[in-house]
Structures are given as C-alpha cells and as structure tokens.
C-alpha cells in the first residue's frame, strides 16, 4: 500500500472507517483490519468508540507505532481549552499517549477559527498529536485555517466518491501540500456499484465494484480513503486494491459519474460548500 506524504504526515492510502462500529464488534474489527494489512484507522470523539478502537489496536499483532491513528474533536468543542480537553479525553479513552492525526471534525459558525487553530497547534506542541488537520472545510475556510496555523495542516477529510465533484477541494489540498482523505468513499455501498462504469471495469479486472471505486480514490494524487465495513470479508476486500491499475479512460468514466452530484453528509451545521 502506498502512503500520502502530506506536510510531514505519511498517511496510508487506505484506512478503516469506524463510524457506527461499537464495543466488542469494534475491538474485533479493528484488530482484524490491522491483521489484514491496514495501517490506518479513523475514529472521532463523536463516534463514541475510542475505547474499543484502542483495545482493537492493542489486540492486533502489530506494534502501536506502525498504525496511523486519526481522531477528531466535535465542532461544539472548538474553543481554546475545550479543544485541548477533548484531545486529552480522546487519548485517555484510546489508552495511548498520542494520535498520528488530530482533526477539527466540522468547522463552527460560532467559535472563532483563529482560537480553534491556536488550540489545535497546542495539541501538536504538547505531543498529543503528531499531525493536525481539518475535516469538512470548503476551500475558502481551508485557506484561512492554513494561514492561521503555525504548523502545516496535513489533511482535509471530506466526503468524496464518484457521485460528488470535489475538484475544488482537491485542488486546494494539492496547492497546500495536504492530503485529501475521502470519507463515505463507497457512497455507503449503494446503487453506485450498479453503474456500468463500475460493473464492467470490475469484471475486466476480476475485482468487485467496491475495489474499483477504492482503486479510483487511491489512484488520484494526494487522495486516501477510509471505507468502513462491519463485515470481516469486506474489510479484507477493501484493502485489495494495490494489485491492479485503472486506465486513464476508466478513471475518466468513473469521474464522469460526478454529474449525479449527491452528498450524503449535509447537516444544519454544515458550512457553505464549494460550488461543483
């Protein structure tokens, strides 16, 4: 598996998403994923599973330092002081002394970005996180955050799949040396898999539509993806994307599905997204 060099961070191109995975199931699946070759796990304070993720890390047969672990602070906890406390609580639940990447989960409309970015930098200075970054930041806010930050931001984690055009965000990330980490990379495993561009390409390579979609993600410069599955076979399937390569035409045919223009994660607290 290749890694994305992102302003000092070295992010494995496929990670395990853990939203909705809880308790013993999360422990088992995190350990299973690492044993299958995953070296990147994504959690968040909001997922209420950090204790289980930490236990899964310890249950796997790989030293902690070989796994790139991301957690996130929720948007209501972005004030100076609250953000650092959220990081401390996450580490205590995870049972580790630092994460590899600490992200602002969503921007806040109420808390000054400058204060949050100062607090985010302090988390890094105190050694609680090796790298810092953001999630769900449209381009204008991303550039503002980068200017405010003393340390470079390693990534912007955003919704990205073939049904959503993220050209603007990806361009901004590349300009600033950041990775773009795709969440909902499989569009939650739905009708997207039935598109002819997926089915035909999958048949051509003897792969599944999910593997074709994940290959499309990681074949783009600077893009990593964090698919989630509660199914051990699919967890193994989703990392099996480094033994084939899509042609330029196949990449373009999949990218053309962006005309569907469908976003899954959009809430009343969402920022103003970039125009497609």
Ligand X SMILES: NC(=O)c1ccc[n+]([C@@H]2O[C@H](COP(=O)([O-])OP(=O)(O)OC[C@H]3O[C@@H](n4cnc5c(N)ncnc54)[C@H](OP(=O)(O)O)[C@@H]3O)[C@@H](O)[C@H]2O)c1
Quick check: 17 binds ligand X (CB under 6 A)? yes
Query: Could you list the active site residues?
Result: 47
**β-strands 179-183, 155-159: how paired?**
parallel
Question: Which residues, numbered 30-59, are part of the site for ligand X (CB under 6 A)?
Answer: 42
Q: Does 151 bind ligand X (CB under 6 A)?
A: no
Q: Which lies closer to ligand X via its Cβ, residue 25 or residue 89?
A: 25
In this complex, which beta carbon is closest to ligand X, that of residue 162 or of residue 222?
162
Residue 136 contacts residue 271 (beta carbons within 8 Å): yes
Give the list of residues 6+ apart from residue 41 with CB closer than 8 angstroms, or none.
15, 16, 18, 30, 33, 34, 53, 56, 57, 67, 68, 69, 70
Among 38, 137, 160, 183, binds ligand X (CB under 6 A): 183
Please report how close the Cβ of residue 148 comes to ligand X at its closest, in angstroms: 20
Per-position b or e across 183-207, b if 16+ CB within 10 A of its CB? bbbbbebeebbebebbeebbeeeeb
| Contact with ligand X (CB under 6 A) among 6, 12, 14, 18 | 18
Residue number, 125 or 232, with CB nearest to ligand X: 232
**108 near ligand X, judged by CB under 6 A:** no
Question: How far, in Å, CA of 134 to CA of 107, rounded?
Answer: 8
User: Among 143, 151, 174, 234, which residue sits at the site for ligand X (rule: CB under 6 A)?
Assistant: 234
For position 226 contacting ligand X by CB under 6 A, the verdict is yes
- Alpha-helical runs (H) found in 81-161: 82-94, 113-125, 139-148
> Of the candidates 131, 229, 246, 253, which one interacts with ligand X according to CB under 6 A?
229
Among 86, 136, 149, 156, binds ligand X (CB under 6 A): 136
Judged by CB under 6 A, the stretch of 86-94, 166-174, 180-188, 253-261 that binds ligand X is 180-188
DSSP three-state, residue 72:
strand
CA dihedral 10, 89, 74, 101 (to 10 degrees): 0
By residue count, the chain amounts to 276
Total binding residues for ligand X by CB under 6 A?
27
Q: Is 210 in the site for ligand X (CB under 6 A)?
A: yes
CA distance 199 to 203: 6
Q: Of 11, 12, 64, 56, which Cα lies nearest the Cα of 32?
A: 56
188 binds ligand X (CB under 6 A): yes
Enumerate binding residues for ligand X (CB under 6 A).
17-19, 42, 105, 135-136, 157, 183-189, 208, 210, 226-231, 234, 237-238, 265
């Amino acid at each position: 598996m290749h890694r994305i060099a992102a302003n000092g961070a070295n992010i494995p191109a496929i990670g395990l998403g853990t939203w909705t995975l809880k308790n013993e199931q999360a422990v088992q699946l995190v350990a299973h994923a690492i044993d299958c070759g995953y070296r990147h796990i994504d959690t968040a304070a909001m997922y209420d599973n950090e204790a289980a993720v930490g236990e899964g890390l310890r249950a796997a047969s790989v030293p902690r330092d070989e796994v790139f672990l991301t957690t996130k602070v929720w948007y209501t906890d972005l004030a100076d002081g609250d953000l650092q406390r959220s990081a401390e609580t996450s580490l205590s639940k995870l049972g580790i002394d630092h994460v590899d990447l600490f992200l602002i989960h969503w921007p806040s409309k109420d808390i000054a970005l400058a204060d949050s970015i100062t607090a985010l930098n302090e988390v890094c200075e105190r050694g609680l996180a090796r790298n810092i970054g953001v999630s769900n930041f449209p381009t204008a806010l991303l550039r503002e955050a980068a200017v405010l930050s003393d340390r470079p931001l390693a990534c912007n984690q955003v919704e990205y799949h073939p049904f959503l055009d993220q050209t603007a965000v990806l361009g901004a990330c590349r300009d600033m040396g950041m990775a773009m980490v795709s969440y909902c990379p499989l569009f939650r495993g739905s009708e997207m898999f039935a598109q002819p561009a997926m089915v035909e390409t999958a048949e051509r390579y003897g792969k599944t539509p999910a593997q074709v979609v994940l290959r499309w993600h990681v074949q783009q410069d600077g893009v990593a993806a964090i698919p989630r599955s509660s199914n051990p076979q699919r967890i193994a399937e989703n990392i099996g994307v480094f033994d084939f390569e899509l042609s330029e035409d196949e990449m373009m045919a999949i990218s053309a599905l962006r005309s569907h223009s469908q976003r899954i994660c959009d809430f009343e607290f969402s920022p103003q997204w970039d125009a497609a």
